[in-house]
Structures are given as structure tokens and as C-alpha cells.
Amino acid sequence: MTKMVINPNRKLSRINKEIYGHFSEHLGRCIYEGIYVGENSPIENVNGMRTDVVEALKAIRVPILRWPGGCFADEYHWKDGIGPKENRKKIVNTHWGGVVEDNSFGTHEFFELCRQLGCETYINGNLGSGTVQEMQEWVEYMTFEGVSPMAELREKNGSKEPWKVDFFGVGNENWGCGGNMNPDFYANEYRRYQTYVRDYKADHHIQKICCGANVDDYEWTKDVLATCYRHSLPAQHGFMDGLSLHYYVHPEGWEIKGSATDFDEKVWYKTLYKALFMDELIRRHGAIMDEYDPEKKVGMIVDEWGTWFTCEPGTNPGFLYQQNTMRDALVAGITLNIFNKHSDRVKMANLAQIVNVLQAVILTEGDKMIKTPTYHVFDMYKYHQDSDLVDSSIETETIGVDDEWRVPNLTESVSVDADGVMHITVTNLSLEESYSVDAHMVDWNVNEVKGEIVTDEMRAMNTFEDPEHVTVKKYDGAEVTESGVKFTIPPCSVLHLELR
Ligand code: AHR
């Protein structure tokens, strides 16, 4: 019997709902087709947004959406995407497939989408190829309420009321596609650009996100913080509210990546091993942040994470379209448990990307839509949003098919929500073994336990022909004991237990 100990009276940190955030880029069929089909589409829509997709996303309580990129953000000139659609500039999406971008989805459409989803907004500004004035005017356009040229322009374009920008990214991947800058150069540019990301509303602070490191580039974190972090100022009026981190899992490395659907047991464990690397990244970048910010006022913002495989055969390689299997479900379950455990520092995370791109929660084909295994994990984990992480631990052993790529058999995290309900999420990484777990509660009586589970064989996926192959199923394998609860978790599964 595997032992687990949970101490609900030891609340460790708040799991910000933004940790369950998403990312939408003008890339492939994410925005166009996947979300936005236009008002005249035969596909059911509200103001151009697909109703099926919006409803599905509402069900997993998408808390925040990042837009318009990604690499696209540092080439995006926001004025191209406002005003009458027939007058909007047609540009080339140079990063993603070289296709025509007609700018029919722009600032007004993004805020309409977030209104329909009921989520917060995270705009990523253009530092790489845009001017300070352009960035300043975008913020003014979106948020200024009084008399000003940008507020007048917004009203002329149909929105008298300003919108609320919750987070603003000052550039994206500026060490790479966002201008190939070195850390010192970016850090000084960040200081300059962020000055003009103003809070036009006295009672609302736009949280500014500084571009952080690519994977394990700890020098970037050190150098950028050395130039940008001013600890003499309170964080809410300081230079930065968050520092980003990007990390993708590609089993065979950046050049080859590996198939999304055709893999063996060894690659299964290799992929999960690489997903677990997120924990080390958060610890090591976090330790550098601690040197400047021991009170953890600046959030680590993992605004791009997920699997990145070789694109589906026959699709445009620039569109990054990939299928999604139980392996993705495990990557999601493991990673979200890691974020929960580090929620003292990780304040937001955005899965890349929300529809039809990389580890998407939704795939579409014409008027058809399917929910991926990853979607179902987000559905089960949504109860952690804005709950309190509590102290928990589980006994583990290392498993794998040979001496390489060995991983722990189980991962977990536990939270208690505002109604006092406990949520336990556990992943079983083993392809063969089920584990019986005896969870002991410290000073907490369990009256009732309910469960739900996503489980199947490792390559199982949903297709347009078989859309419900992998779904959330009711789980009856848990029972209340004298000291807590016991349950058996089957191989290759992600489990959620709700305890009252
Ligand atoms: O998510 C796809 C791309 O990955 C983003 O545009 C970029 O920021 C990252 O390299």
C-alpha cells in the first residue's frame, strides 16, 4: 500500500486561477477557423466566435487568455486590426506558414471573445519591431476613459467604453523571434517600453510581464533581473509584476521532435521525464528570483508550456497542428501538479495553444469539434483554481523500461477550495502497474468521497470519427477510512478526488 499524507490545516499558498490559463496566437488554425469564423459563417457563432468552442472553453473555466502571440506579437501592429474589416491591411504571417493575415480578428474581437468566455485578458505587446509610441497608444486605446485621440478612435470603431487589460507582456521571446536581443539590451528596452504601459484607471493596475528565459537559460534570468528589478519600489508600482518562462516538451529534441501519436513505451517515459523537468526549471529560476525578491512579489509566468511534436502528416508544417493522446493528458496532469506545488512563485501559466495548435484542448475540422484528452484533464483540475494548496506528500518509486528516462510512478497535489472541499489530483505514470494508496489526513474528517478519472492505453486519442473515446469517467474506486481515504489508481491515468 502506498502512503500519502495530507495536512489540510497547513495552507501553503493560493493556487491562482491564472495558472490554468491559455494562449491563442495568430498561428495556423488557432484564431481563424478554430475560434473565429466570422459573423457570416454557416458555423453557429456569436459575433463571429464559434459557439461550440466558446461553450466548451467556458466549461473548463478558462480564467485568462493570452493574445496575439507568441512570435506573431513582435510583428503585430495593432492598428492593422481595427476599423472596418474591408479596410484592414492584409499582411503576411511570416512566422507561421507565410499565409495571408487579413486582420479580421483584432483588438475589438479579442475583447469580445474574452467577454464571451468570461475570462481575464493578457495582451502581448510588440517590442521587437514596434515603437514605444505604438505600444503606448495601444494601451491608451484599450484602457483610457477620458478625452484622447486613442479613446476617440476606439469610440469611432464602436467601443465607447474602455476595456480592462489584466496583464501586458512587454515583448515575447526577445532572446529569439522577438528581436534576437542579448539580456542587457532587452532589459534596457524593457525599462523604456514598460514606462509607457500606463495605468489610466486609478483603481486598476495592468500587470506588466517582462520577457524571461528560454528553458534553462539561467544567465538570462540573472542579467535581466539585475537591470530591471528595483526592490526599493513596491511591486505594484515597480518595473515588473511577472517574469516569463517558456518550456516545451519535445521527446526527440528541437530538430526532430517526434510523432504525436506513434510512439513506444520508451518514448512514453522519455516524454514524461522531460515534462518533469519543469520542476527543476521553476526551482532554479525561482532561486535566482528569490535573490531579488524573497517575498515573491514578482510572479513566475510560464506563459508557454506543453508538448511540441512533429506536425500531423499532410498538414502545413507552419501551422503546428498535432493530435493529442493519453500521453498529453499525463503531461498536463504532471505539469499542473508541479505548478500547484510551486504556486507561491508561479502566478500564471498558459498552455500552448488553446485550439488546433500544439497541445490544444480543442481540435476542429470544418463545423466539427473535439475535446482532447488534455481538455479533460483541465476539466478535472479546474477545482484547484483559486483554492489553497495544502501540504501533501506521497511515497514514490522510480519506474521506466530501462536505465534511462526513469520517472516517479506517481505525482500529486492537493487543495482546499473556498467551500472547504478538498481536491486531490494524482497521476499514475506507469503503463502497467496500478497502485493502492492509503491517504492519511491530519486532523480532518472525511465524510464523503467522489472521484473522476481520465484513463486509457497510452496512444488513445479522440478523433472526429470517435470524439468521445477518451473522456472523464466517474470513478468509484475510493472509500473513506478511519484516517482518511484509500483508492487504487490504474496505470496511465489522471485522477481527481473530491472530499467533503
Ligand atoms: O507557441 C508557438 C511559438 O513558440 C510561439 O509563437 C513562440 O513564442 C514560441 O517559440
Q: What is the DSSP string of 259-314?
A: BSS---HHHHHHHHHHHHHHHHHHHHHHHHHHHH-TT--SEEEEEEEEE--BPPTT
340 shares a domain with 256: yes
Are 383 and 418 a contacting pair, CB within 8 Å?
Answer: no
Indicate if the alpha-carbon torsion angle 233, 239, 240, 241 is positive or negative. positive
243 shares a domain with 152: yes
Which residue puts its alpha carbon closest to atom 3 of ligand 1?
70
Cβ-proximal residues to 327 (8 Å cutoff; 6+ apart), any chain: 263, 268, 271, 272, 307, 458, 459
Q: For the domain that residue 363 is a member of, what is the CATH number?
A: 3.20.20.80
Query: Half-sphere exposure of residue 487, counting CA atoms within 13 Å on the CB side?
Result: 28
As beta bridge partners, residue 461 has: 325
Number of domain units in the chain: 2
> 79-137 pLDDT, tens per residue?
999 999 999 999 999 999 999 999 999 999 999 999 999 999 999 999 999 999 999 99
Ligand 1 atom closest to residue 69's alpha carbon, by position in its atom list? 6
Which residue puts its alpha carbon closest to atom 7 of ligand 1?
70
C-alpha of residue 38 to centroid of ligand 1, in Å = 25
ipTM value, please give it. 0.99
181 shares a domain with 148: yes
Average pLDDT, the chain: 96
The one catalytic residue in 173, 189, 395, 498 is 173
C-alpha of residue 353 to centroid of ligand 1, in Å = 9
User: Is 304 marked active-site?
Assistant: yes
How high is the pLDDT of residue 239? 83
DSSP string, 113-175: HHHHHT-EEEEEE--SSS-HHHHHHHHHHHH--SS-HHHHHHHHTT--S-----EEEE-S-TT
Are 335 and 278 a contacting pair, CB within 8 Å?
Answer: yes
Residue 396, judged by CB atoms within 10 A of its CB (0-12, 13-18, 19+), counts as: middle
C-alpha of residue 248 to centroid of ligand 1, in Å = 9
25 within ligand 1 shell (Cβ under 6 A): yes
172 within ligand 1 shell (Cβ under 6 A): yes
Domain containing residue 485? 2-7+390-499
Ligand 1 atom closest to residue 172's alpha carbon, by position in its atom list? 8
The one catalytic residue in 304, 433, 479, 482 is 304
Which residue puts its alpha carbon closest to atom 8 of ligand 1?
70
Domain termination site, one of 337, 355, 385: 385
352 within ligand 1 shell (Cβ under 6 A): yes
Which residue puts its alpha carbon closest to atom 9 of ligand 1?
70
111 shares a domain with 235: yes
Q: For the domain that residue 427 is a member of, what is the CATH number?
A: 2.60.40.1180
pLDDT band at 344 (very low <50, low <70, confident <90, very high): very high
Q: Model-level pTM?
A: 0.97
Domain termination site, one of 385, 415, 433: 385
As beta bridge partners, residue 480 has: 485
Considering just the CA atoms, what is the radius of gyration of the chain in Å?
Answer: 22
Are 15 and 340 a contacting pair, CB within 8 Å?
Answer: yes
Which residue puts its alpha carbon closest to atom 2 of ligand 1?
70
> 240-271 pLDDT, tens per residue?
999 999 999 999 999 999 999 999 999 999 99
Q: Which whole number is the average pLDDT over 337-348?
A: 98
User: Is 173 marked active-site?
Assistant: yes
Cell of 228: 530591471
Ligand 1 atom closest to residue 352's alpha carbon, by position in its atom list? 1
Are 350 and 305 a contacting pair, CB within 8 Å?
Answer: yes
452 shares a domain with 320: no
Ligand 1 atom closest to residue 358's alpha carbon, by position in its atom list? 1
Which residue puts its alpha carbon closest to atom 6 of ligand 1?
70
State how far the Cα of 413 lies from the Cα of 393, in Å rounded to an integer.
8
Domain termination site, one of 335, 360, 385: 385
Strands (E), 32-108: 45-46, 49-50, 64-67, 91-93, 99-101
How high is the pLDDT of residue 233? 52
DSSP string, 243-273: EEEEEEE-TTHHHH--BSS---HHHHHHHHH
Q: Is 97 left (phi over 0), alpha (psi -120 to 50) or beta?
A: left
350 shares a domain with 287: yes
330 shares a domain with 309: yes
Q: Which whole number is the average pLDDT over 52-57?
A: 98
173 within ligand 1 shell (Cβ under 6 A): yes
Ligand 1 atom closest to residue 320's alpha carbon, by position in its atom list? 2
Ligand 1 atom closest to residue 173's alpha carbon, by position in its atom list? 8
Among 217, 257, 302, 304, name the best residue to mutate to test ligand 1's pocket (greatest count of ligand atoms within 8 A of Cβ): 304
Q: For the chain, how many residues are written?
A: 500
> 411-432 pLDDT, tens per residue?
999 999 999 999 999 999 999 9
42 shares a domain with 111: yes
389 within ligand 1 shell (Cβ under 6 A): no
- pLDDT of 499 higher than 80: yes
* b (16+ CB within 10 A) / e for 119-129: bbbbbbbbbbe
410 shares a domain with 340: no
How high is the pLDDT of residue 230? 72
Question: What are the angstrom distances between the C-alpha of 119 and each of 159, 165, 339?
Answer: 19, 11, 20
